[in-house]
Structure 1
């Protein structure tokens, strides 16, 4: 039964994409509704994965493992555990909300049927990446998202959409080549790509682990993206349609940080331990650079995009410590960022669609003309800056705690600088609110319509999740203790 459930999580959105794409163009709205139904079924299936069967420590709750290409020792191996499950559910939720959003609004007019089908294809690739337990299978799903996201940006984005889409593809292809080299290095050396078998670097020499981790780290840094390989991100977010930005920030970026945990640390722990100090320094640089750049941004979506660089820096800092606290901070930071930044991009898209501008200078006084929209934007910004009691707090706070626990001059310095970066995060979000929601209303925001019912339906789950995860972090971390302990136990 669990085998069927795992396969269904991928088969349902794949079937949905095919059905939606084959529907006639004249039934565009009906096709978007059909896509939403398939996305809703997929979300229910992802939630049902929480019912595990007994498993040994470090093993998945449930998995399906069959021979795929026996001559190359490639297996169709899917599984879910406490590390992947929260991201699987988040992917199902955000795809459902985005598909539902397209029923009400399609950027650029028509062709909503194709956009909805692409969202379902993206869901297949992202879910497959989180569920894959074979390196070759992981690589294939990792690449599935490339062309659909290019099409979403280039087909429904802003005026510079084609340039942004090309930049996204070029950077991602560069990372893909390195990922393929890393996969090839490990599979040839170990004779298998099974991630469960390879856990702890089993059968891999120190040299192979060093080489593989270096390749994996750069490849996943491009996807996350981590500083200084982040420059494709602001352009992609600025030009992407609202639903594209939500999927991109909410779950697609998490493929990079998830891969760094599952594949990088899991398969090459000796390489991770050797690179940890450098990763910690890069993480702090990302936090500080992202915050300082945000203080100078004048465009709403671009500011939110650069804020992701800083938030991913906290995730990387948690991973770099290679401690239980640090990896758990990274896991909850991933999920919190997906929830909050997904909400921020929904709100930024709504503001930009209404006011026809994203310039902060032109959006002043939003609370006077659209108080509910301004209130939600304030809530999302405060959640993102890490206010205690909201989802953004735990990942950032415990990444700093993990660096302190690691001890030594380097890690204590990283902790202090990361904490300072957290203060800068508060500064640029408060600056954002001062510029956008306060002061006299500008002509661009005069007479803006209120929040519609479809918008409330799309945004409310994210608001509630930001509160729930902030108050009860065990919603994300309850089942992560054993797999995280297994990962850190292999690090010398």
Structure 2
């Protein structure tokens, strides 16, 4: 089947990509396979391996994997929406499946964010994880490479393989190093996300045959489709991506997974894995089925507003700090999907900025809870009180991240939400007003937790015995604090990178593909 002429899109057609492959230097493959291979090596060391050596090897691998991703930004051309740093090789030739990688302004920041968070997670588990250290560090390194693969894949089947493969390491992390109900939480996480993805696989197979035997996203973005087919494809993709975000009402797996997961698992789950679903909306749902995306935008907006408002109210009554921050993540991701489906540059860019900032802020929030849990072995808000009296340095970080979670101006948490609200007001004043008013709930549940945990008189002997953070914990929190401040005070480098790609995506979605 011959494909029609060019439609401007998030991924420009192949003809416009000439010359971009020469500068790739295999960076994306290195970013994917370096942590995977290093993780496999750590797994092969066995339980008898020296835990100290394993930790240093894991840190070296994580740092090297992060350094590999830096040239993706320093060498990124912000003036084009074309894919950059491409690698395009035959994989399964019989079915025209290709090992096709590339990043644009929408995806490149998430590659860096994934590698950066992996370094933080390795440092966070340095002293806390004492059992099966090689497996713990190996699982996170492998997961890091797989998630980079999701953000880099330009072949539909390759994307699906990476997308589903993320379940395995996270399932193991929750199931082995999690809390008392870890097996239940791990199964619920696995089944929810796997069930949603099965419909996506059906959609990919349909698009393969409809496009004349191609799994290329570039081809699928230009493929004309009737409205009935677009609607079915849109909801098939929705089933996979909505669960991953997660959107209301398929969000119930997330609080359980967060509560039972170890601190590192919660950090990666909130900072990166939730972003895979939102990224899928931009890469699949909107450009492949633009008419259906515009037709059913009201549904996504409604579900997003429910997440922002209702889930915010649910967070207000939580007694467990991890559950409170988990529900907070659902509310913040509601802002992301709201921004995407108001179809404005402010909204989509704001959603992307919110995804990145949420990676920093939510990761930091879970690390702070982990610091307290490691000392007191309780996540209940009632177990604390007056922490500032015994841990002043830690409290300074914790309160700063809580303020960022509220959307305090000058922090990363403010920029994305403000852009989404502006985009929503432009789309419909009342939608924007409802989204803006929900910020009150975010401030309420966050400040309520901060007041009861950190301020006031010392509540009990456990709090009285607390010792302030050491150099390792100070380092990981300080690095995240710098990132939150940098993005809050100087968001332009982030928005400049994504600007042209977002503009092209919106142009593409505005053009009908009905045949």
TM-score normalised by structure 1 residue count? 0.96
Question: What is the match of residue 435 of structure 1?
Answer: 452
Q: Any idea what the Cα deviations from partners look like across 1:181-201, whole Å, max 9, x if unmatched? A: 2222222222322122333x4
Kindly indicate whether the alpha-carbon contact (under 8 Å) linking 2:321 and 2:379 is maintained by their aligned counterparts in 1.
yes
Deviation at 1:8, TM superposition (A): 1.0
Deviation at 1:103, TM superposition (A): 2.7
Kindly indicate whether the alpha-carbon contact (under 8 Å) linking 2:319 and 2:380 is maintained by their aligned counterparts in 1.
yes
Distance 1:386 1:55 in 2: 28
Q: Which has the higher contact order (CA 8 A, sep 6+)?
A: 2
Deviation at 1:317, TM superposition (A): 0.5
Question: What is the match of residue 94 of structure 2?
Answer: 71
Deviation at 1:228, TM superposition (A): 1.0
Question: What is the match of residue 35 of structure 2?
Answer: 13
Distance 1:419 1:484 in 2: 23
Deviation at 1:132, TM superposition (A): 0.5
Q: Any idea what the Cα deviations from partners look like across 1:71-107, whole Å, max 9, x if unmatched? A: 212111100111111111110001011112233321x
Q: Any idea what the Cα deviations from partners look like across 1:321-378, whole Å, max 9, x if unmatched? A: 1211111011000000000000000000111111221111121111112122222111
* Mapping for residues 97-176 of structure 1, pairs under 5 Å: 97-106=120-129, 109-176=130-197
Q: Any idea what the Cα deviations from partners look like across 1:121-180, whole Å, max 9, x if unmatched? A: 111111000000111111000011111101100100111111111110110111121221
Question: What is the match of residue 44 of structure 2?
Answer: 22
Deviation at 1:111, TM superposition (A): 0.5
Question: What is the match of residue 5 of structure 2?
Answer: none
Select the residue among 374, 379, 401 that pairs with 1:358: 379
Question: What is the match of residue 235 of structure 1?
Answer: 256
Q: Any idea what the Cα deviations from partners look like across 1:263-319, whole Å, max 9, x if unmatched? A: 111222122111111111111100011110111011111100000011001001101
Question: What is the match of residue 265 of structure 1?
Answer: 286
Question: What is the match of residue 462 of structure 1?
Answer: 480
Deviation at 1:3, TM superposition (A): 4.2
Distance 1:82 1:142 in 2: 20
Give unmatched runs, 5+ long, in structure 2: 1-22, 511-515
Question: What is the match of residue 59 of structure 1?
Answer: 82
The size of the alignment, in residue pairs, is 485
Kindly indicate whether the alpha-carbon contact (under 8 Å) linking 1:36 and 1:99 is maintained by their aligned counterparts in 2.
yes
Select the residue among 59, 66, 69 that pairs with 1:43: 66
Report whether the alignment pairs 1:345 with 2:366.
Answer: yes
Report whether the alignment pairs 1:253 with 2:311.
Answer: no
Distance 2:477 2:111 in 1: 19
TM-score normalised by structure 2 residue count? 0.92
Select the residue among 448, 451, 471 that pairs with 2:466: 448
SS of alignment partner, residue 341 of structure 2:
helix
Report whether the alignment pairs 1:368 with 2:389.
Answer: yes
SS of alignment partner, residue 229 of structure 1:
coil
Give unmatched runs, 5+ long, in structure 1: none
Deviation at 1:223, TM superposition (A): 0.6
SS of alignment partner, residue 261 of structure 1:
helix
User: How well do the aligned residues superpose, as a CA RMSD in angstroms?
Assistant: 1.5
Select the residue among 216, 228, 240 that pairs with 1:207: 228
Report whether the alignment pairs 1:381 with 2:399.
Answer: no
Distance 1:167 1:67, change over 3 A: same
Q: Any idea what the Cα deviations from partners look like across 1:448-485, whole Å, max 9, x if unmatched? A: 01101111122221110100000111232111111111
Distance 1:412 1:55 in 2: 32
Distance 2:367 2:53 in 1: 23
Q: Any idea what the Cα deviations from partners look like across 1:7-49, whole Å, max 9, x if unmatched? A: 1111211110121111242322211211111111110011111
Distance 1:256 1:300, change over 3 A: same
Distance 1:427 1:230 in 2: 21
Distance 1:90 1:422 in 2: 25
Question: What is the match of residue 244 of structure 1?
Answer: 265
Q: Any idea what the Cα deviations from partners look like across 1:363-417, whole Å, max 9, x if unmatched? A: 11111121222221110110011011100111111111111112xxxx3222111
Deviation at 1:202, TM superposition (A): 2.8
Kindly indicate whether the alpha-carbon contact (under 8 Å) linking 1:61 and 1:81 is maintained by their aligned counterparts in 2.
yes
Kindly indicate whether the alpha-carbon contact (under 8 Å) linking 1:122 and 1:148 is maintained by their aligned counterparts in 2.
yes
